[in-house]
Copies of this chain bind each other. A is one copy, B any other.
Amino acid sequence: MYLHVQRLINDIEADEPDPAAANALQEGLGGQFGEMRTMMQYLFQSMNFRGPAGKPYRDLLQGIGTEEISHVELIGTTIVRLLDGSPRYNGKKTDPLDEPGAGGRTPLENALHESNIHHYLVASQGALPVDAAGNPWSGSYVYNSGNLVLDLLYNLMLESTGRLQKCRIYEMTSNKTARSTISYLIVRDQAHENAYARALETLGVSWASVLPIPKTNAEKFPEVRKLLDLGLQSKQYSFDLTAQSEAGRIFQGMSPSKDGTQLDASEQAPAGVPLTIAEERFEEFSPGLDPELLALVQATAELEMAEVQPLYGPIPPPEGTS
């Protein structure tokens, strides 16, 4: 069972809208080696896992899989921020009577020349479950052989390829919004690569100096450097509310990437940052609520909020967060 926290797993830096960068990030969301794929692959590997003796491996898969859902949320939200307002429509955002296209204006003209017209025509300046070339995500991507060693080997390759592609995306754009999320995911992909490499080490494989694969010089990317200095490539959170995860039996010892750090599985989850909700975009008819409907929503909002009876909690506000 899963629960949600109204916080993003990492902060997204503000910058100008940039639909071309948004489209490149779609590969990291809905591509063959993106976050929807890792998320689904590890959830299926956890559900289908065989052999109670292998619980530490199952828990490792379950923990990383849970983290990937938050990555889907992070990169999807980043794409929204890169697209939001990109038509540079000078609409009076707060005026619900505003009339996009009235009199024959063309506030969405830019859509004809951006990377994926569906971002404007279908998704209302939002994220799509597709890759950077517009292919919809497919269930055929999910790999789960039922053989633990093969699955670990595949996962290692999957994380490495995801990181490789994100390093290439880093080289495609200098937009800070895009880079803040890409850099974070580069480092987390490396943490997961370390996790699977370490799991294979427990089965006897020795990697010499071949890890990380590939040896991008991501440590020379300033935003990545900062996160490496915090050791994020060598931490794995449990994301487990019941403290039953045994993943730490595997994720320990010296990092297989031989960067001199110790693997550390002692934290439950990062603190995260608050989630916000995007503005209306009237030129997309989103929400396009007319004054009458707005009034109805308002009325609803004034009702008393129901008391939620907590099973898992009460939750203390995480330290060091606003």
Contacts and interface: CB of A to CB of B under 8 A. Distances in A.
A112 B112 contact: no
Nearest to A251: B306
Given A104-B221, A242-B7, A250-B300, A80 B47 contact: yes
Q: Could you say which interface size class chain A belongs to?
A: 35 or more
A57 B70 CA distance: 20
A260 interface: no
A209 B149 CA distance: 12
Contact of A128 (B113, B124, B139): B139
A51 to B, nearest CB: 5
Contacts of A129: 40, 44, 139-140, 142
A239 to B, nearest CB: 5
Interface in A250-272: 250-252, 264-272
Nearest to A45: B126
Contact of A217 (B100, B148, B204, B221): B100
A115 to B, nearest CB: 7
A205 interface: yes
A297 B54 contact: yes
Given A121-B169, A122-B145, A129-B142, 4 more contacts: A44-B126, A106-B171, A129-B140, A134-B134
14 contacts: A2-B5, A2-B239, A4-B240, A24-B121, A104-B174, A117-B132, A117-B133, A209-B292, A241-B312, A248-B307, A267-B309, A268-B310, A311-B318, A312-B318
Counting from the closest, the 7 A-B pairs by CB-CB distance are A124-B146, A248-B306, A204-B208, A48-B126, A129-B139, A137-B139, A136-B139
